[in-house]
Amino acid sequence: MKKSRRIDFVRNAPLPLRDGVAPSRVYLPAGSWTTLLDFLVERFGHVPPPVLQGRLERGEIVDEAGVPQASGDSYKGLRWLWYYREVPQEPELPFELPVLFRDKYLVAVDKPHFLASTPGGRYLRETALTRLRQALDMPLLSPIHRLDRDTAGVLLFCADPESRGAYQTLFQTRDVRKEYEALAPLRGDVALPMLRRSLILPRPGHFTMQEVDGEPNSETHIELLTETGGLGLFSLRPRTGRKHQLRVHMSGLGMPICNDSFYPELRPYGESDDFSRPLQLLARAIEFADPISGRARRFESVRRLRCPTTDSTRGA
């Protein structure tokens, strides 16, 4: 079975995992830079040159053999350098990450809102992957799929590097049944249940998505489960996996998911981190035939969505 490139990346790195976080690397192309520092200053334009120089002087940037590089070294291209990415003042997230299932191949967890699936952006250590690698002492644990940071619910990781490809193939071939729940306003002019189909593309100049005219590339089955006080608890079953698909489809119907800071309008930066107002979207369950054991697998979240108006809880 073909090995994961990401796992090989971790295995072959000259630097070990640090607090569950894998090192990063940068490729040095052919070029006319005089020194290594000259290249790094241009490559990482957002980092002050004294910071880069300091990291070199402390031996924090190494080559493939683990040899520390110096700021005055002549530039040599066509190779990789390795380092630990740093995030200043990474906030701590006061949420638990319960393990729903674990065997030699799979780890299923119940991810809380606000916790990223994998390192990126402002978060390195406060991610599901990093927490699990540390808590379970599994440095080669790797993600099989991802959930948006704002979305809570069932998230799967692979414990066996040789088996990751088999599990990822299930998602690529759509042999995984995913069930979500969402709280959103009701509209009397939207006939339910329904299959929402549309063409979802990136919004130019933004990280959000939009529905545009054209051949659909996304499908979501939407059903109303219960209703109270003008809000509905909806079952959402995506048949495709476009970025922000469920949020875009509900917003497009005029029923944006409660506390969505992206749709229909992008709210000011920081509102998405209001822990008292989590996005009311939950990956309720995931179901598939295990490609290794052949067993039927179903993992369900024990979390509940909270009605913003009554602060009550409800679930399937």
Query: Per-residue pLDDT tens for 74-119?
Result: 999 999 999 998 887 788 899 999 999 999 999 999 999 999 999 9
Query: Is pLDDT of 3 > 60?
Result: no
Q: Where are the beta strands (DSSP E) in 239-310?
A: 281-289, 296-300, 305-306
Position 61 in a domain: yes
Residue 199 sits in the same domain as residue 145? no
Domain boundary among 119, 149, 173: 173
Residue 168 sits in the same domain as residue 248? no
Residue 315 sits in the same domain as residue 238? yes
**pLDDT cut 90: percent of the chain above it:** 80
pLDDT single digits (tens) 5-46: 555 666 688 999 888 888 999 999 999 999 999 999 999 998
Q: Answer yes or no: pTM beyond 0.95.
A: no
Residue 121 sits in the same domain as residue 150? yes
pLDDT of 314: 42
Position 18 in a domain: no
pLDDT of 298: 98
Domain boundary among 83, 107, 128: 83
Q: Are 96 and 75 in contact (CB under 8 A)?
A: no
Domain that holds residue 116: 87-173
Residue 248 sits in the same domain as residue 122? no
The answer to whether 260 is a known catalytic residue is no
What domain count does the chain have? Answer: 3
Q: Are 282 and 181 in contact (CB under 8 A)?
A: yes
Q: For the chain, what is the mean pLDDT?
A: 91
Position 19 in a domain: no
Residue 314 sits in the same domain as residue 200? yes
Position 39 in a domain: yes
Beta-carbon contacts of residue 224 (< 8 Å; ≥ 6 apart): 186, 192, 193, 232, 233, 234, 235
Instruction: Round to whole Å and give the CA distance between 58 and 61.
Output: 8
Position 155 in a domain: yes
Give 151: exposed, middle or buried? Use CB within 10 Å, 0-12, 13-18, 19+: buried
**pLDDT cut 70: percent of the chain above it:** 92
Position 15 in a domain: no
Q: Where are the beta strands (DSSP E) in 115-189?
A: 142-143, 152-158, 177-185
Residue 242 sits in the same domain as residue 202? yes
Give 30: exposed, middle or buried? Use CB within 10 Å, 0-12, 13-18, 19+: exposed
Element (H, E) at 221: strand 218-228
Residue 130 sits in the same domain as residue 241? no
The residue with greater pLDDT, 29 or 306, is 29
pLDDT of 306: 84
Beta-carbon contacts of residue 227 (< 8 Å; ≥ 6 apart): 186, 233
pLDDT of 290: 97
Residue 29 sits in the same domain as residue 60? yes
Q: Which of 169, 114, 112, 126 is nearest to 145 (CA)?
A: 169
Region 66-70 average pLDDT: 96
Q: Where are the alpha helices (DSSP H) in the chain?
A: 5-12, 36-43, 49-57, 128-135, 164-172, 245-252
Position 5 in a domain: no
Q: Which of 209, 283, 273 is nearest to 244 (CA)?
A: 209
pLDDT of 2: 42
Residue 215 sits in the same domain as residue 311? yes
Query: Is pLDDT of 4 > 80?
Result: no
Hey, what long-range contacts does 193-196 have (CB within 8 A, 24 or more apart)? 193/221, 193/222, 193/223, 193/224, 194/221, 194/222, 195/219, 195/220, 195/221, 195/222, 196/220, 196/221, 196/222, 196/249, 196/252, 196/253
* Cα 188 from chain centre: 34
Query: Is pLDDT of 160 > 80?
Result: yes
| Active-site residue, selected from the candidate residues 8, 103, 148, 213 | 148
Query: Is pLDDT of 269 > 80?
Result: no
Domain boundary among 37, 65, 83: 83
Instruction: Round to whole Å and give the CA distance between 211 and 202.
Output: 9
Position 17 in a domain: no
CATH of the domain at 311: 3.30.2350.10
